[in-house]
Chains A and B, each alone.
Chain A
Amino acid sequence: MSALRSYRLLVTWQARRMKMFLPLGIVVQALFSFGIVAGYPLLFPAMDRTTILYLASGGPAVSLITVGLVAVPQLVSQARTEGTLDYMRTLPILRVVYLLADMTVWLVVVVPGVAFAVVVAAIRFGLDLHVSPLVVPAVLLVVLTATSVGYAMASLLPPLVAQMASQILVVFILMFSPLNFPADRLPDWLAAIHRVLPIQAMGEVMRGTLAPDAFPLTLGAVALLAAWCVATFAASSLVLTRRA
């Protein structure tokens, strides 16, 4: 049976399973990005152009990352607990295809919110963003990596631990990750951690393509993301195949 056909069927299956959640997820994502772009200026009324650009590009990045690292582990843990994941594992489909189909549905959830946030930011701050066409592969890479990490968390950790870890991650991503502010404001030790974790690189890749005039897109960030993506995708796929 062709991988393409199972991919198509699985995407439809997952989209239908999530059809109540999909519109809600899209709205929540849009509001989330909007909240960051419109809310931060209330905290800091006087902002220079760099700060504004950080917010305009950081909002969409936060939105992409939280779906992968927070929503995915929660829903996958739930699927594990209720037995859906084991049922899927009894079907004659490739694990990679199953993962990719699931991630496709997540992509549909996050992308409208990101686009909306960028537009809001441009209008709110009167920005003239020259968005690079590379934003398309950048979003794909960030979403794929974030959902892969989320999947790996949910696959490797016990369900309850995965759900709690994802809650704590929200605060870590929102407040202690250099997405809405430059990394040099962090204490050295935290900055060092972020040089290895994928969160900062996700922010850099998004910034480097949403506002390429102000931020460089470094090969280092792309390479780090790619490494995380491959490693966590392989781990999730391995766990899905594992027979205890």
Chain B
Amino acid sequence: MSSSVEALVNKEYKYGFVTDIEADSAPMGLNEDIIRLISSKKGEPGWLLDWRLKAFRGWLKMTEPHNWPNISYTPVDYQALRYYSAPRTAKPLGSLDEVDPKLLETYQKLGIPLTEQKLLAGVAVDAIFDSVSVGTTYKAKLAEAGVIFCSFGEAVREHPDLVRKYLGSVVPASDNFFAALNAAVFSDGSFVFVPRGVKCPMELSTYFRINAADTGQFERTLIIAEEGASVSYLEGCTAPKRDQNQLHAAVVELVALDDASIKYSTVQNWYAGDEEGKGGIYNFVTKRGKCVGVNSKISWTQVETGSAITWKYPSVILQGDNSVGEFYSVAVVNGRQQADTGTKMIHLGKNTRSTIVSKGISAGRGQNSYRGLVKVLPKAASARNYTQCDSMLIGNRCGAHTFPYIDVQNSTASVEHEASTSKIGEDQIFYLKQRGLNTENAISMIVNGFCKEVFKELPMEFAVEAQKLLGVSLEGSVG
């Protein structure tokens, strides 16, 4: 069995190509002048520059978190990175037709056509290339419904009041080391605003691509659903294969007012490094939603298969009474990948409910940790949480770890935690092979079955992609 498996292990990461495009980049290193440069390139108002500088000054006093996460890596040299890189364009873009053909080709190769006639019906896409958005599709159609979907930079220019009102309201600039860094240097990202009573007429999607070498990607996404509004949003990510580690430190903030609902799905497939752990993305991301209003709902679904290191805890603050928070996660590590991921559900309001379903898959020499906090504050009467945390091991050299934290300060709350660990065994694979499936298909079937509860939460078009991605990520993981 092992020889065929060895061959499969070296399967190419098919998104690892580099686009040869002239870039407008900031010099290496990080200081206040770089931040002023970023802000001026983006033509930002003074209040935003001040917000960035304040974040930067705070960040200087913070230290990279190395003690508590179950990951190990050499500390990042923040002066050896570039904090801004944009494809050079002659003039500001008026429409998608003016996008550099090389960029269109890049997204075509990634399976994300940006010309609207070729798009997946019913999905609007914002494409982020290194530090800037290169185009957003279906803007006009969305505008008819009153939905704003644009790059963050454009939102700052066109809708400054909305940005100013909500920016940092869920993840303050001082929240943590990586969130502070992002606040100081964030480049672009997506902005979504769904006004009162509007059900967003199509899926919204952002596709993140890191291209330039030695460049960090620091996008910032802000989604606001007003009273009774609803929206489903999906992000996808890839990067070229490079020998150096690359830093990705994003912040996502979600705000749901009364009766609003936001569904946020991620399919993360950043370059994971080679089988010896060389190269790959450091994915240090802060994602948090706030159910501000009563009866509001925020649901995170993530399929994390890429990155050398993943450090990420999409969370929900359940402030409004009867609000609902959900977290559905599949995290896969293979090769030398490390993931420390999970969620925080903070119950503040009465009768708030949260559900956590985490599926961790460890293969190769990967290390996978689930870290979750369920916190019920004194006023959260009758709060309920259900947590299910399952780990699957493939092979003998990987690890699965679980770090659940439960803090209940109201005696009427109920919190349930279930956990299991299983191992794909020779017998399971043999059973499927005896029915005619090869090893690869057998593993893919077992793993997809294991992840089913999470996949069914994904929008349909992407559930199929996620299943395929999982198959590719795990090819050759049994030896």
Same complex origin of A and B = no
Chain B contacts to A: CB under 8 angstroms: none
Chain A contacts to B: CB under 8 angstroms: none
